[in-house]
Amino acid sequence: MLTVTLLEPQIPPNTGNIARLCAATGARLEIVGKIGFELTDRYLKRAGLDYWKYVNWEYFPDIETYMSSMDRSRIHLLTTKADRPYADQPLKNGDYLIFGSETKGIDKKYLDCYNDRCCTIPMADNGVRSLNLSSSAAIVLYEALRQNNWQPLRNQQQEPENNPR
């Protein structure tokens, strides 16, 4: 299983859209740190529609504890402050795709600490600073699925009780 980690997300509809993405792919969602909304927010629930019951997710209140517990070899920090394209990074089943908040990205101390684990979504140099968080999560998650020959999706399809339709 792949895990999408959101560090301190601020915009409920983005988190809801990512929850829906995780439901569709069987990926786990982990929400970490101070968030900019309540987990009961109506916009969060609306963006996730009625798919929340299919999302394997958990909230971790302390970002420092969360990050210090990670296996360095399994994490990928997505940032505009890296040069390595995400598609050049081997993404394996069981890895964590870590995204920062919409307003600040990933804290510099984590980018410095895990600089060998940072990658980016390439963009044209035309003044666009970043992509939408939920778009970025979808781009990278589907690349991870492709690199794993779609096996995580096949595993979900073989276990109908974990992927009701």
Domains detected in the chain = 3-162 (3.40.1280.10)
Helices 151-158 and 12-25, packing angle to 10 deg = 70
- CA distances (Å), origin 29, targets 24, 97, 138: 12, 10, 12
| Predicted pLDDT of residue 126 | 78
- Residue 47 pLDDT > 80, yes or no? no
- Residue 159 pLDDT > 80, yes or no? no
CA distance 21 to 29: 9
Kindly report the average pLDDT of the chain as a whole number.
89
Helix (H, G, I), strand (E, B) or coil at 36: coil
- pLDDT tens-digit map of 48-83: 567 788 899 999 999 999 999 999 999 999 999 999
| Predicted pLDDT of residue 160 | 46
Say how many residues make up the chain: 165
| Predicted pLDDT of residue 162 | 46
Q: How confident is the model over 89-111, as a mean pLDDT?
A: 96
- Residue 45 pLDDT > 80, yes or no? no
- Residue 133 pLDDT > 60, yes or no? yes
Binned at pLDDT 50, 70 and 90, residue 151 comes out as confident
Helices 12-25 and 133-147, packing angle to 10 deg = 20
Structure token digits, residue 130: 């970043």
149: region left, alpha or beta (phi > 0 left; psi from -120 to 50 alpha) = left
Burial (Cβ within 10 Å: 0-12, 13-18, ≥19) of residue 126: exposed
